[in-house]
Amino acid sequence: MKIAVIADPHFHDINHRQGVGVGAGAAMRTLADTAASTRVFNESFHATRALLDDIVRRGIFLVIVAGDLTDDGQQSTMAAATALLDDYSRRFGLRFVATPGNHDLYAIHGRHQSKRYLNTDGSHTLVTSDPAMQQGGSVERIVSDEMYCGGYGTAIPALGAYGFFRRDGDLHWECPFGTDDRLELRSFEIVSADGQTIRRMIDASFLVEPVEGMWLLSIDANVFEPRDGELDPALEKSYHDSTDAGWNSMLRNKGFVLDWMKDVAARAKASGKRLIAFSHYPVIDPLNGTSTDEARLLNDTSFLRRTPNPEVSRVAAATGIKLHFSGHLHINDTAVFRDGDDFLVNIAVPSMVGFPPAYKIVEFDGERLDVETITIADVPCYDAAFAHYRIEAARDGVSAAVTEATSHADFLSRHLTEMVRHRYLPKEWPQDLARLVPQLTLGDLDAFAATSRPLSVEDAGAVIGSAQDEAGTMAALALFEVIVDWYRLRKGREVALDFIDPARIAAYRLTAQRYAAGSWPQGSLQDRFGSFMRMMMDWLDSQPSRDFSVDLATGEVTSRDHLGRTVRRQTGAA
């Protein structure tokens, strides 16, 4: 039996503008908001359908959803997203088993949401659930309860059909609190760091056996820890957002879930059940050993903030859970953690609204799990919002180059380019490097590596342009384009090679070799770009990430490279 694993659909209903009645006008989000986000919005409407249609065509009926089904948990969006899944269940017999993501709910009481929607003339209207939200640059403001993101008490019942409660036909169902599925019985105490504030919080984890011999363990890794001194339980600011916390906060606040995981793993092994665990957040460092280099180059990034520390991975591996799927980061990655005889394999699943658009298919073969990564490049009506984007861009005097995309995957690749330009370079990169990058080429990077004396950013001007641009080389390639490819590889690993000219990859390898052959003081320009090239090579070479097998007895990950050679990843973080 094959199982589809999808993550982060972030479904947004483009046909219903919240607050103005069902069917009362298109609900297209602005291009400006899309360009500034790590995900696209309007395109999720058709991309989610294309994803589900592909699953149906392959004859798969069991689908794991690793969190963030919805755009931002808005009441009307939740209703539209669940209606879509329910429709595929009725028409095609799909069975969905989900875990909640940080965009699906917020703590107990929920939180306000505010979104800007395009008007026909390119202006935008603000729709918000918060009466105190200012109108800003929007031509109109609409206050609507439909925009409110619910807490556990409303979001989990809305998602209830996806394993959160017992269903007729399930062979087994339980949660960390026992076999009673009533939500009011599935709560625990969570305490602020100073020990002064105590809240009752719900944990929505569950174990279900939908078909004979298959145990699916949904782990609610959302943690909403109260902030010191915040006494109003209904305010968003009263909690630490789960977005960056993830599994790092699980050890401190949800030890009972880890104890339960260990018990589940032991019982699964004793009874011969096949066990797949999944949560929204990765439980192993998704940067696969490049965290030190990323910290050296970029200091503080969202990836680093969301990286599980080694102790988290060690404790998770000690539970006996061998296999874990995650979402959240919108990346394609496979990581292995070992600690003595314990091991854990984390398979990070991409999103259809971020580069690269893909999902996973898994199939058991004895003690082996075969994993296939399916890229969905073509989505019908992928350009449904493009005409609106062009009107907005013309009104605001900005580029609409992303609307020249020839497919959904091409659009996401172009969107990533704009993210690098408007988000990653100005917000993640040190200011001195961000200012320097537009002046540089790949040839300049080579020239830095060929310079024996340590360079500072201020010294770079004397070297820029000194590289020989030989015919047939990539020396004139703008460093900005190299950085975009770096992010493509960071997010897509092997899948990204479908979107990068092989000649570029060959040139990057030569540049990386030049940096690997040298040694410079930490903090020098060569040292910083050396980190950059080391990470690129690690993402190119260190792991099978598209189609592979996992030996669940040993933790060995095996695949075939493009030459048909066996590639193994036996060790990861330790």
* HEC letters along 286-337: CCCCCHHHHHHHHCCCHHHHCCCCHHHHHHHHHCCCCEEEECCCCCCEEEEE
Q: Which of 3-12, 438-447, 551-560 has the lowest mean pLDDT?
A: 551-560
Q: Give the model's pLDDT for residue 560.
A: 60
The 3-state DSSP class for residue 415 equals helix
Over residues 92-106, mean pLDDT: 98
Closest CA to 125 of 392, 369, 454: 392
> Whole-angstrom Cα distance, residue 204 to residue 225?
16
For residues 14-30, give the mean pLDDT: 72
Buried residues in 334-348 as b, exposed as e (16+ CB within 10 A): bbbbbbeebbbbbbb
Q: Is the pLDDT of residue 351 over 70?
A: yes
What value does the mean pLDDT take over residues 54-78? 97
Task: Pinpoint the alpha helices (H) of 369-501.
Answer: 386-396, 408-419, 425-428, 431-436, 442-449, 479-492
Q: How many residues are present in the chain?
A: 574
Query: How does DSSP classify residue 43?
Result: T
Who's near 353: CB < 8 A, 6+ residues apart?
8, 9, 10, 39, 40, 41, 43, 44, 47, 330, 412
pLDDT at 517: 94
Q: Which stretch of 65-74, 96-105, 215-224, 241-250 has the lowest confidence by average pLDDT?
A: 241-250
Secondary structure of residue 470 in the 3-state scheme: coil
* pLDDT reading at 573 higher than 50: no
pLDDT band, residue 505 (cuts 50/70/90):
very high
Nearest alpha carbon to residue 276 among 169, 343, 363 = 363
3-state secondary structure of 417: helix
CB 479 within 8 A of CB 437: yes
- Alpha carbons within 13 angstroms on the beta-carbon side of residue 487 total 28
Mean pLDDT computed over every residue of the chain: 92
User: The pTM is what?
Assistant: 0.95
Q: Are 429 and 435 contacting, i.e. CB atoms less than 8 angstroms apart?
A: no
pLDDT tens-place string over residues 359-403:
999 999 999 999 999 999 999 999 999 999 999 999 999 999 999
Is the predicted pLDDT of residue 472 greater than 60, yes or no?
no
Give the strand pairing for 140-143 and 124-128. parallel
Distance CA 76, CA 148 (A): 9
Query: What's the whole-number mean pLDDT along residues 49-75?
Result: 98
Across residues 191-195, what is the average pLDDT? Answer: 94
CA-based torsion, 327, 333, 339, 341: positive or negative: positive
Q: Which positions ≥6 away from 341 have C-beta within 8 Å?
A: none
* Integer Cα distance of 536 and 227 in angstroms: 38
The answer on pLDDT for 301 being more than 90 is no
Q: HSE (CB half, 13 Å, CA atoms) of 367?
A: 8
Q: Is the pLDDT of residue 469 over 60?
A: no
List, in order of start, the domains of the chain with CATH numbers. 2-375 (3.60.21.10), 429-541 (no CATH)
pLDDT tier at 230 (50, 70, 90 boundaries)? confident
Query: Which of 61-75, 156-170, 475-489, 539-553 is least confident?
Result: 539-553
pLDDT at 244: 87
Q: How far apart are CA 470 and CA 114, in angstroms?
A: 53
Q: What is the pLDDT of residue 295?
A: 86
Q: How far apart are CA 256 and CA 264, in angstroms?
A: 12
pLDDT-derived band at 545 (thresholds 50, 70, 90) equals confident
